[in-house]
Amino acid sequence: MSIPTLHTLNPAYKIIERLGGKSTVATALQLHVSTLSRWCQPWPNGTGGAIPQRHWPQILQLAEKKQVRMRLVDLAQPRS
């Protein structure tokens, strides 16, 4: 039985899914899965879809390793 996804705020959700899901990305970044879940949650408990910039280099490296086309601009929080 899978747990339903409650929060799917972008760009975090889309990036995580493209890279193989929360477990895969959390393992690669040496983070707990709950950290990635918070990236997909709205404020005040989450980051509102933003991925903290300190993780961008590792995410881009993971994308390259997985041969997923990703650019720095893909990681940036979209403007409202």
Q: Is residue 37 part of a domain?
A: yes
Q: Is residue 6 part of a domain?
A: no
Q: What is the pLDDT of residues 27-77, one digit of tens each?
A: 999 999 999 999 999 999 999 999 999 999 999 999 999 999 999 999 997
What was the pLDDT predicted at 5?
A: 57
Q: CATH number of the domain that 21 lies in?
A: 1.10.260
Distance CA 71, CA 23 (A): 22
Q: Is residue 23 part of a domain?
A: yes
Q: Is residue 16 part of a domain?
A: yes
Q: Which residue range is the domain that position 21 belongs to?
A: 12-66
Q: Is residue 53 part of a domain?
A: yes
Distance CA 14, CA 12 (A): 6
Structural domain tally of the chain? Answer: 1
- Evaluate whether 60 touches 70 at the Cβ level (below 8 Å): yes
Helix (H, G, I), strand (E, B) or coil at 61: helix
What was the pLDDT predicted at 2?
A: 53
* Res. 80: pLDDT tops 70: no
**Full-model pTM:** 0.88
Q: Is residue 79 part of a domain?
A: no
What was the pLDDT predicted at 7?
A: 84
